[in-house]
Structure 1
Amino acid sequence: MRRWMWFNALSLVMFGAFLVFIVLQSVFGWHVRNEELTQYGHAADSYWAYLQSGHFVEAVFENWESEFLQMGSYVLLTAYLVQRGSPESKQLDEDDRAEDYPEKAGPHSPWPARQHGVANVLYRNSLSIALLGLFVVSFVIHLLGGTAEYNEQQALESGAAPISAATFLTTSDFWFQSMQNWQSEFLAVGCLIVLSIFLRQHGSPQSKPVVKSHAHTGE
């Protein structure tokens, strides 16, 4: 068990932190929502009812949406674009790696990597496909949760008739929520790409070795 935890420490810490923070988000969000309901003279939601509310679903998935968009785009763009001096970039003169094609596959290579045709193409692009697919799923759930939250809020404030998800998709409210997250994600990645040209972090694979020049590009 200790050996397994050592080999998987990075993902265990990341997913552990995720669980802690999403539980805390749900608890604090539950209190915020109930304070709002009380102000309008409505009964407070139970914790489990809150987890199914538009307030919680919208808050969670508008953030997941931006994260998966940023990561999926980053994986895909780094396959084609370079940044001189950044360890986040491939070499300036590097074309496709021979190891990305079935001719270089060995007996221990994953099964799809040893194939030709559609299976190989899909596997060679599976990381960006998965991340952008998760973005699409999160986008749709954000839209549905946002619609529910919008309708709940309108009912509290004015008793207005509910709107459909298609209608909410055309509102400034929905796109404001998305853009405020999208812009921050791309800013953060852009800062990482540029700052890693000049700055170092000893021991991190996200950083160039400390002694490497600013012009050194790639790992």
Structure 2
Amino acid sequence: MSQSTLTRELALRIGLAARALPDTPPKLFISVLRACTGTVLNDQSLAELGKAQFQQALNNFGIVADADSIRDSLNILRNAEANSPKADTSQVIESASSIRIAIGSDDPQLISGHFGSCRQFLVYQIAADDARLIDVRSIDSDAQRQHDDKNVYRAELIADCRVLYIASIGGPAAAKIIKYGIHPVKADQGEAITQIIKQLQIVLAHAPPPWLAKSMGIQPVQRVCFEQES
């Protein structure tokens, strides 16, 4: 069986990913990865490595690790930091009718993940004619563990946002973020983030529903005028 040759950078990344897991020698870890990817072990095959597949392979080789360690190891393998979206803070959207939203997702392009387990929130400022990623807020595992309530920690992380798009969120967690004035909106797993933004911009350009108008700071009289003009 032919085996792919590892580049120096990839070998280093695999070594760091192995160190993120307890008591996992690099040689054993490579066996885990080859069980996942077959004969081709390269940047592309690791970028496409799924969490469930990775978890199952670790179990098959007797490697026991907590969820945070597994996530950290997988992010290193995927080179997630290098591929993460970059926020644009060069200019601020000055439109009074803009709104700040958060998107909970482990993927910079597609909706992915649960509110209680996603590793980051993408924060956008959205207006009818403009949209900008202004911040990427990663979950600090240590800070989350030290907090009395994981869901409250996450809600506080996006407390300046008025809408949260997420693929999945439980009732108790949704109730907590609503207390922070954040409106949860369920999105389809795998839905394109650009499509969500376009749909929201269409709503902003016409007549936003009362809850959204209120979040944007539009008073009742202003809402009537806004609707008449559309």
Identify the structure with the greater helix proportion.
Answer: 1
Identify the structure with the greater strand proportion.
Answer: 2
TM-score by length of 2: 0.25
The structure number with the bigger radius of gyration is 1
TM-score by length of 1: 0.26
* Greater RCO structure (CA 8 Å; 6+ sep): 1
